């Protein structure tokens, strides 16, 4: 029986099944998890290699005072692109290809081309990751190959996003009238804006790859690279992850759905902040960045408070949940909760940074620390927490404690702390060997957290568990020794 007083509310046009017209869902089967599972695996592989792997090399070499040459800038850009497009981006798109057709009430149209899209994005990121550092090793015989690889990588990533956006747009045109799909209608303008941002940013990225290849340059010019990175992070990865998580929190935490008006206001604030930030990146002017940080501060502080996650305001787990489910949810929820604490910290940092810029920079807070509070703190921990809750369900497995998740919670939070604290301390004039050592260790902690998590969910993503569940559901016994 449900906990007394717990009632899902239809505040945001939520499509509760019993309240929909009988024909609100189009006929035709939804695509199975197998459609996107390989790309979640690809996202984790990219993150462990070109993402956190490269990040660990960068952090260790900076902590040890290794001379930073052209390879450094190339590797920084490879790392940033791999994390934002190959890890967070691929994850969001793969999960979106599963969720959005269900929200639309119609099967995904052009599922095959959407799969090619995910493959093209992953391959594009990998090609860029190999080509840029190769170009930095000036006059290598392979530099011609590296230039071709760089251009191909940029174009493939953009083509991939085009295929996915086209598949989603075609799916929208099918199924029951849109007005019956309240859950989708309430977020549709937001989704269109965010996917358009991704598409345009990847198009700009492809153009930058062509420009760099023609100029034999191993790295993009700093202002355009910053603008590209900020558009991807604050214009796509952060708002989409936040929006998806706030829709899922009523399920994972048992909290109320957030009311639409303040939520829309906060997302409008974030959108204005992105426009100002990109303008500041491109022009080098201080005031747009100050205003962008103030607005980002409002979002970073306002959104977690509105979502009621970090401060323990959530309702106790519903009594209907079995003790096993409550136990299995504990550590994933700890990851999600800590992600939201990191978003609060990022909000506070942005607010202080914005105020400081307005007052003539008495404290020059590092933009790098802000970015990593959002990426290593919020996005990574959110993906791990939501992944631990959702992936077993996608794979049609009962939710049970993901092994060694405690290690993932500790190592993931340490990675964020070690990555963010040293540059903040340096901005305040505090340096110490212990801080440098912590910085050097940050990448290794992240590798430990994400590596352990990947190892644990790999069999579910490999489809073994899901296929067995499907076979069992169809009444066909799995071969001996292969049962879950
Ligand atoms: C603990 C794990 C991580 C480590 C050790 C790390 C390390 C680094 C380092 C050393 C830099 C160069 C900073 C500079 O220019 O001085 C950097 C830049 C960057 N990192 Fe990370 N990082 C980590 C996690 C992440 C994550 C999870 C993301 C995104 C999801 C991310 C995205 C970026 C971006 C976008 C840049 C700027 C790239 C550019 O300027 O083109 N990092 N990171």
- Return the domain boundaries, the chain: 31-217, 221-464
Taking Cα atoms as reference points, which of 449, 450, 482 lies closest to residue 466? 482
Among 80, 420, 424, say which to mutate for ligand 1: greatest number of ligand atoms within 8 Å of CB. Answer: 80
Q: How confident is the model at residue 401 (pLDDT cuts 50, 70, 90)?
A: low
Question: Once rounded to an integer, what is the mean pLDDT over residues 207-236?
Answer: 95
Under DSSP, the state recorded for 479 is: P
What token pair was written down for 156? 């493939």
Averaged pLDDT score across all residues of the chain:
85
250 vs 297, higher pLDDT: 297
Give the distance (Å) from ligand 1 centre to CA of residue 405: 24
Residue 462 per-residue DSSP state: T
Say yes or no to pLDDT of 106 above 70.
Answer: yes
The pLDDT tens digits of the residues spanning 150-203 come to 999 999 999 999 999 999 999 888 877 777 776 677 778 888 999 999 999 999
Task: Tell me the average pLDDT across 424-440.
Answer: 93
The residue nearest atom 36 of ligand 1, judged by CA position, is: 80
Q: Ligand 1: which residue has its CA nearest to atom 34? A: 80
405-414 mean pLDDT: 96
What is the C-alpha to C-alpha distance for residues 348 and 459, in angstroms, rounded to an integer?
Answer: 39
- Quick one: DSSP state of residue 397? -
CA-based nearest residue to 346, from 363, 362, 322, 370:
370
CA–CA separation, 415 vs 409, rounded Å? 10
pLDDT value at residue 463: 63
* pLDDT greater than 70 at residue 440: yes
Distance 237 CA to ligand 1 centre (A): 14
pLDDT, tens digit, for every residue of 15-69? 444 344 444 455 556 677 778 888 999 999 999 999 999 999 999 999 998 888 8
Is residue 350 over pLDDT 50? Answer: yes
| pLDDT-wise least confident of 212-226, 296-310, 319-333, 358-372 | 319-333
The model carries a pTM of 0.89
Average pLDDT over residues 447-472: 76
254 pLDDT exceeds 90?
no
Atom of ligand 1 nearest to the CA of 439: 5
CA-proximal residue: ligand 1, atom 27 (nearest) = 376
Distance CA 51, CA 45 (A): 9
What does the alpha-carbon distance between residue 337 and residue 318 come to, in Å, rounded to a whole number?
17
Distance 55 CA to ligand 1 centre (A): 6
Instruction: Give the orientation angle of helix 433-461 with respect to helix 405-427, to 10 degrees.
Output: 150
Q: What is the pLDDT of residue 67?
A: 80
Give the residue ranges of DSSP H helices in 320-373.
Answer: 323-358, 367-372
Find the mean pLDDT for residues 235-240: 96
More confident residue, 426 or 12: 426
> How far away, in angstroms, is 54 Cα from ligand 1 center?
9
CA of residue 285 to ligand 1 center, whole Å: 23
Residue 180 · residue 186 · CB < 8 Å = no
Q: What spatial distance separates the first Cα and last Cα of the chain, rounded to whole Å?
A: 29
- For ligand 1, residues with CB inside 6 Å are 52, 55-56, 58-59, 62, 76-77, 79-80, 83-84, 88, 225, 229, 368, 371-372, 375-376, 379-380, 415, 419, 442-443, 446
The closest of 359, 337, 356 to 348, measured between CA atoms, is 356
């Amino acid at each position: 029986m449900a906990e007394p007083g717990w009632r899902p509310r239809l505040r945001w046009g939520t499509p509760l099944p019993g309240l929909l017209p009988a024909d609100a869902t189009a006929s035709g089967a939804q695509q199975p998890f197998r459609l996107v599972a390989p790309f979640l695996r690809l996202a984790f592989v990219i993150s462990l290699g070109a993402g956190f792997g490269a990040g660990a090399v960068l952090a260790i070499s900076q902590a040890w005072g290794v001379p930073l040459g052209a390879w450094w800038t190339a590797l920084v850009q490879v790392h940033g692109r791999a994390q934002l497009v190959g890890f967070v981006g691929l994850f969001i798109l793969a999960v979106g290809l599963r969720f959005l057709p269900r929200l639309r009430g119609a099967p995904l149209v052009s599922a095959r081309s959407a799969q090619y899209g995910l493959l093209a994005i992953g391959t594009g990121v990998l090609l860029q990751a190999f080509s840029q550092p190769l170009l930095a090793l000036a006059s290598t015989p392979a530099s011609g190959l590296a230039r071709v690889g760089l251009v191909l990588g940029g174009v493939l990533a953009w083509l991939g996003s085009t295929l996915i956006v086209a598949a989603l747009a075609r799916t929208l045109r099918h199924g029951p009238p849109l007005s019956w799909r309240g859950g989708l209608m309430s977020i549709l303008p937001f989704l269109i804006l965010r996917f358009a941002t991704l598409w345009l940013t990847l198009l700009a990225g492809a153009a930058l790859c062509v420009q760099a290849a023609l100029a034999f340059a191993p790295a993009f010019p700093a202002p355009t690279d910053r603008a590209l990175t900020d558009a991807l992070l604050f214009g796509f990865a952060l708002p989409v992850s936040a929006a998806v998580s706030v829709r899922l929190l009523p399920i994972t935490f048992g909290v109320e759905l957030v009311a639409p008006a303040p939520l829309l206001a906060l997302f409008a604030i974030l959108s204005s902040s992105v426009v100002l930030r990109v303008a500041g990146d491109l022009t080098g002017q201080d005031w747009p960045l100050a205003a962008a940080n103030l607005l980002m501060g409002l979002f970073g502080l306002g959104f977690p408070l509105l979502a009621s996650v970090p401060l323990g305001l959530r309702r106790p787990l519903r009594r209907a949940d079995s003790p096993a489910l409550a136990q299995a949810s504990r550590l994933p929820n700890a990851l999600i909760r800590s992600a939201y604490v990191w978003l609060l910290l990022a909000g506070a940092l942005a607010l202080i940074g914005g105020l400081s810029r307005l007052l003539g920079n008495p404290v020059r807070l590092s933009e790098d620390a802000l970015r990593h509070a959002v990426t290593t703190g919020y996005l990574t921990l959110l993906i791990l927490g939501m992944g631990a809750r959702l992936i077993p369900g996608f794979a049609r497995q009962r939710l049970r404690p993901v092994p060694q998740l405690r290690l993932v919670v500790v190592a993931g939070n340490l990675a964020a702390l070690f990555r963010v604290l040293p540059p903040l301390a340096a901005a305040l004039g505090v340096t110490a060997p212990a801080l440098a050592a912590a910085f050097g260790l940050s990448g290794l902690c992240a590798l430990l957290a994400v590596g352990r998590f990947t190892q644990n969910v790999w069999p579910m993503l490999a489809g073994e568990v899901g296929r067995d569940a499907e076979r069992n559901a169809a009444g066909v016994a799995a071969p001996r020794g292969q049962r879950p």
